[in-house]
């Protein structure tokens, strides 16, 4: 149990000031109260969070943990200018917002994300919101509670300070142990889209398009649709991802009776104190069964020409994007290997100092970078045109930007890969592969099946019911 003495009087004073702003401007105004609290375990809040609210956001990265419940106000936007539209909506709301309290500045204010492409889907193509209850913690254990109410100028606001504070206290007071993994679910039904044979034919066709000079790289995606007669326990799914995917960013967006969840190793961009950071993540190799095999596979990835070419395309594109907005950009000459529990990738860290930090917004950087060649292709337009022709489904939020932004429009966004869309008893998993000259259809098939495994494990799908996977050994790489 996490007991917090919420300063309700301070929140009420902020609410009263926001009420005056709302009436004077004849438009809704946000009342935001922030105060410091003691450290917490994000996993211990998962079950009470999902049980108490249908609108939730979870973000647990090595740097920041965010637990959000409910919505004080939403920001949505349709069309190709969706990133700028969300920024304009927030800037308009911020002009009349009243924020106070002894809590730390720079903590998240908005949470949410974006679909891969600006087209209608089961979740909005752009959705960020100010949570009613927002709990954040940095890597040093400093935690902040933010309470928000949107005040209606007509005085008809349903959620006042007392109710919001009570909901926050109940959530924190219900904190418990980490959720146990779900029991294995027998009787699941799994469908691969495209099928194995169709996928291999599509990869071969894409390699042919590359040979003809249409593009240099295209990132094809597959779906694995898993239906369970018992449904899925979201706290257990998220708890398993936290336990089994260290070093990744575990995330969940629950809204409109569905959820989008995952554990991604890939940061799109962060912006803090005028310092922007991204990563070039590409090429994949499995982990070995023994230390010797693992070391062999690690060396093979560094020496593999196809992998180096694939990752070089991503790095060069991100560098050029950073150079357009940053005074200085730092990119190492050589990539290093990022080791994950199931896979490893080539990784390069890209850092830049923003030339004009006063006007910079993390959403501007998100718009400039998304989609990177790691999830779309290069050249971008030609690759995306091919994906629109070739992929037999809409990606939804898969490989889109998910994250948070603070009052100063700094924040952190990840690329939502290694993810699944959950609705009722169906989980739709996604996995993608970067196709370049020399890509082998059989190897790309095995790679997608390996990438499905962490989410299948989180969903408690028995091993006997999972898609087959052939372990890659060092002798296969000779």
Closest CA to 272 of 412, 388, 426: 412
Alpha helical stretches, state H, 174-233 = 196-211
Dihedral angle at the C-alpha atoms of 45, 47, 53, 57, nearest 10 degrees?
60
Tokens of 205: 């066709």
> Where does residue 407 rank: exposed (0-12), middle (13-18), buried (19+ CB within 10 A)?
middle
Tokens of 239: 């708890």
Q: Which residue has the tokens 């509670």?
A: 145
Q: Is 90 left (phi over 0), alpha (psi -120 to 50) or beta?
A: alpha
- Which residues fall within 8 angstroms of residue 9, CB to CB, at 6 or more apart? none
Closest CA to 317 of 382, 368, 387, 264: 368
Total residue count of the chain as it appears in this document? 478
Q: Is the bond into 371 cis (omega within 30 degrees of 0)?
A: yes
H or E element that contains 164 = helix 161-173
Can you tell me the distance from the alpha carbon of 362 to that of 130, in angstroms, rounded to the nearest whole number? Answer: 16
Tokens of 13: 């004073």
Tokens of 445: 């098939």
H or E element that contains 444 = helix 441-458
Q: Which residues are catalytic?
A: 200, 266
CA 54 → CA 145, 227, 252, 258, distances in Å?
20, 21, 12, 9
Can you tell me the distance from the alpha carbon of 397 to that of 252, in angstroms, rounded to the nearest whole number? Answer: 11
* In contact, 449 and 443? CB cutoff 8 Å: no
CB atoms under 10 Å from CB of 71, counted, come to 24
């Amino acid at each position: 149990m996490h007991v917090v003495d919420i300063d309700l009087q301070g929140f009420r004073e902020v609410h009263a000031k926001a009420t005056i702003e709302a009436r004077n401007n004849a438009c809704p105004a946000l009342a935001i109260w922030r105060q410091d609290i003691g450290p917490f375990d994000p996993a211990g809040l998962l079950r009470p969070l999902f049980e108490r609210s249908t609108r939730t956001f979870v973000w647990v990265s090595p740097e920041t943990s965010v637990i959000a419940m409910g919505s004080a106000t939403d920001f949505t936007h349709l069309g190709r200018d969706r990133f700028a539209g969300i920024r304009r909506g927030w800037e308009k709301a911020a002009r009349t917002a009243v924020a106070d309290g002894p809590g730390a500045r720079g903590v998240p204010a908005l949470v949410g994300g974006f679909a891969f492409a600006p087209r209608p889907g089961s979740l909005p193509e752009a959705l960020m919101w100010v949570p009613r209850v927002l709990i954040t913690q940095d890597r040093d254990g400093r935690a902040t509670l933010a309470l928000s109410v949107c005040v209606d100028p007509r005085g008809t606001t349903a959620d006042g300070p007392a109710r919001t504070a009570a909901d926050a206290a109940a959530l924190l007071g219900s904190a418990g142990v980490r959720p146990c993994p779900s029991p294995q679910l027998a009787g699941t039904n799994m469908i691969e889209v495209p099928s194995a044979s169709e996928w291999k034919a599509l990869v071969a066709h894409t390699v042919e398009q590359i040979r003809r000079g249409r593009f240099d790289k295209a990132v094809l995606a597959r779906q694995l649709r898993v239906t369970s007669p018992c449904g899925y326990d979201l706290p257990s799914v998220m708890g398993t991802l936290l336990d089994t995917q260290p070093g990744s960013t575990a995330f969940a967006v629950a809204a409109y009776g569905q959820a989008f969840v995952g554990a991604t190793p890939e940061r799109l961009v962060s912006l803090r104190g005028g310092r922007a950071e991204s990563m070039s993540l590409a090429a994949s190799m499995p982990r070995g069964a023994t230390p010797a095999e693992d070391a062999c596979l690690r060396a093979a990835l560094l020496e593999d020409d196809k992998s180096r070419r694939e990752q070089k395309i991503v790095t060069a594109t991100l560098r050029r994007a950073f150079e357009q907005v940053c005074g200085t950009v730092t990119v190492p000459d050589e990539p290093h290997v990022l080791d994950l529990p199931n896979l490893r990738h080539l990784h390069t860290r890209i850092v830049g100092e923003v030339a004009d930090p006063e006007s910079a917004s993390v959403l501007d950087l998100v718009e400039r970078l998304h989609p990177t060649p790691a999830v779309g292709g290069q050249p971008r337009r030609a690759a995306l045109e091919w994906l629109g022709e070739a992929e037999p489904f809409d990606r939804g939020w898969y490989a889109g930007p998910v994250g948070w932004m603070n009052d100063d429009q700094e924040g952190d966004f990840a690329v939502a890969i290694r993810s699944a869309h959950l609705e009722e008893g169906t989980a739709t998993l996604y996995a993608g592969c970067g196709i370049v000259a020399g890509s082998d259809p059989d190897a790309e098939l095995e790679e997608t099946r390996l990438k499905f495994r962490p989410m299948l494990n989180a969903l408690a799908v028995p091993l006997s019911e999972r898609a087959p996977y052939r372990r890659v050994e060092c002798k296969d790489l000779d």
